Amino acid sequence: PLRTKPKPKLEKPKLYKVLLLNDDFTPREVVVQILKAEFRLTEDEAYHVMITAHQKGLCVVAVYTKDVAETKATRATDMAKDFGFPLMFEVEPEE
């Protein structure tokens, strides 16, 4: 037969979490500024994400498609490096 089962054509894009990692050197205010600049968080959202990472070791910043997550994580990490701090962002797939 030419047509058997219709195959679902459009798959949901897989989503990726951007994680903020704690470190002992980056000032809290620098973390907040970078979160606001790269991820468009408000001051309150950025403070909450920063303090969660500070206390727990890491915090999910936001969820995006793969290319957007990787671009934003790289840009944010590079921004910190330009300021002279070792702040790290990582990307991991959602469950």
Where on the chain is the footprint of ligand TYC (CB under 6 A)? 20-24, 26-28, 31, 50, 53-54, 87
The distance of closest approach from Cβ of residue 79 to ligand TYC in the complex, given in angstroms and rounded to an integer, is 13
What is the closest distance, in whole angstroms, from the C-beta atom of residue 50 to ligand TYC in the complex? 5
Instruction: Please state, in angstroms and rounded to a whole number, the distance separating the CA atoms of residues 94 and 15.
Output: 6
Angle formed by the axes of helices 66-82 and 28-39, nearest 10°: 140
Question: Shortest Cβ distance from residue 45 to ligand TYC (Å)?
Answer: 14
When the beta carbons of 13 and 86 are compared against ligand TYC, the nearer one is: 86
Cα gap 95→89, rounded to integer Å: 19
In the complex with ligand TYC, the residue whose CB is nearer, 35 or 64, is 35
Considering the complex, state which of residue 18 and residue 64 has its C-beta at the smaller distance from ligand TYC. Answer: 18
Q: What is the Cα Rg of the chain in Å?
A: 17
How many C-beta atoms surround the C-beta of residue 30 within 10 A?
Answer: 17
